[in-house]
Amino acid sequence: MRARGSTLLEILIAVLVLALGVIGGVGLQLGALRARHQAVLLSQATQLAVSLAERMRANPAQFSTYLTLNYDALAEPSPAAPSALCHGDACDAAQLAFADLYDAKVQTSQNLPGGRVLVCRDAGLWSGGKLRWDCSGGAAAPVVVKVGWRGKRPDGTASVDAEGAHPPGVAMVVGRSP
């Protein structure tokens, strides 16, 4: 009887199949890491929008102050602190609104890459099924908090809309101002 062993060709084919499996596994892992990162950014943007919306509802007399928020972390990486931060100190409604805006800017700058947050009046949030930064305005339009970041596609190119802008990731309707 002759004992048969593996030929060199069979070993090379087995190594090639194993290498393809490892490469496929690494690709899946990278895709999962990208998806996780995007989920974290979306969660942070949602938490920021909800927090700011709740602060606005708690301080309705200052809606006009909140409507001044149009912050871009690339244009202003280190926002200037207001005169009062209202952390344990007595503040009036206007000081509290400015402290809320500062907190929103800091959270955007620290948590979202190239983040942006905008508070505006917008009756038409969606344009062609996508969120947009433009606000329709109008005194009867609801107040909206929009939050976004400059993301990338899996191939490394910038994630932009048809106009070449980074669209918002989250839009939260606060309601109509009193």
CA–CA separation, 177 and 160 (whole Å) = 32
Q: What's the pLDDT score for residue 5? A: 67
Per-residue pLDDT at 177? 60
Cβ–Cβ under 8 Å, residues 133 and 167: yes
Q: In the predicted model, is pLDDT for residue 148 greater than 90? A: yes
SS3 sequence of 19-42: HHHHHHHHHHHHHHHHHHHHHHHH
* 54-95 tens-digit pLDDT: 999 999 999 999 999 999 999 998 999 998 888 777 889 999
User: What is the per-residue pLDDT for 155?
Assistant: 75
8 A C-beta contact, residue 103 and residue 63: no
Nearest to 41 by CA among 82, 79, 80, 73: 73
pLDDT tens digits for range 25-59: 999 999 899 889 889 999 999 999 999 999 999 99
DSSP letter for 18, please: H
Mean pLDDT to the nearest integer, 133-160: 84
Rounded Cα gap, residues 117 and 168, in angstroms: 9
Kind and range of the H or E run holding 57: helix 8-58
- Structure confidence by residue, pLDDT tens digits, 119-133: 999 887 766 677 888
The distance from CA 25 to its chain's CA centroid, rounded to whole angstroms, is: 28
pLDDT of the residue at 103: 95
Report the C-alpha gap between 148 and 153 in whole angstroms. Answer: 15
Cite the DSSP H helix spans in 87-154: 93-111
Q: So where are the chain's domains?
A: 8-175
Distance, in Å, from the CA atom of 66 to the CA atom of 61, rounded to the nearest integer, reads 10
pLDDT of residue 178: 58
- Per-residue pLDDT at 16: 96
pLDDT at 2 over 70: no
Question: What count of other Cβ atoms lies within 10 Å of the Cβ of residue 3?
Answer: 4
* pLDDT per residue as tens digits for the range 92-114: 999 999 999 999 999 999 999 99
